Amino acid sequence: RCNGTGRMYETSVEELIGEHARNMLDGEDYSLHGMGREDVDVLSLGTGRPFILEINKPKKRDLSLEIFEKIVNEGAGGKIEVDSLRPSSRKEVPKIKDGTSKKSYRAIISSNKAFDEESLKYNISLLAQSPIRQRTPTRVVHRRADKIRERSIHNIGSKILSDGRAQIDLLTDGGLYIKELLHGDDG
């Protein structure tokens, strides 16, 4: 699956940010501590996702965060963007790693048949009536513990776009697997 590289993906958010900081501070290594995870084909909107970047054994301690933001954003080729950076400390790492959040999603779904608006609204409303129990999906089980997680949908709505297309808007607990919620896990 990795074409002999030993890596699942060409690059990572951690590398796109960390390599620049390691070079600028002449550090040995780096670790990115982020709140949650996101798939490579999902765009994080709004204010983005908080993170803390830790530089191991830096030889330099001064870093202009404004210049650093510019270097990261220019070097990332549009894959990521950082802003509003500030100094942090180790005390904040557990807050980031263990933090709970709500996430908004918009999904466009399609069908071979026209959607019935009443039926669509009723069926999606059923999702928000009780907690969702999901087993770790097969697409991520190689990097996450295989267990059942319980999450909730706080708000859900729908809108018919055309005969065979509808939009679903969700506000959920972080960690709810939206793709599997909408289409199942391998059927």
Cα–Cα distance for residue pair 170/157, rounded to 1 Å: 7
Cα–Cα distance for residue pair 33/92, rounded to 1 Å: 10
Report pTM: 0.63
pLDDT tens digits for range 170-185: 999 888 888 888 888 8
Q: How confident is the model at residue 115 (pLDDT cuts 50, 70, 90)?
A: very high
- Mean model confidence pLDDT for the chain: 86
Query: Which whole number is the average pLDDT over 24-38?
Result: 85
The letter for the amino acid at 12 is S
Cα–Cα distance for residue pair 116/87, rounded to 1 Å: 52
Gyration radius of the chain over CA positions = 20
pLDDT tens digits for range 39-76: 556 666 667 778 899 999 999 999 999 999 999 999 99
Cα–Cα distance for residue pair 54/22, rounded to 1 Å: 9
Question: In this predicted structure, what is the pLDDT of residue 157?
Answer: 93
| 145 contacts 7 by C-beta, under 8 angstroms | no
Q: Is the pLDDT of residue 167 over 90?
A: yes
Q: Catalytic positions, please?
A: 39
Cα–Cα distance for residue pair 26/7, rounded to 1 Å: 25
Question: In this predicted structure, what is the pLDDT of residue 143?
Answer: 76
Cα–Cα distance for residue pair 137/40, rounded to 1 Å: 15
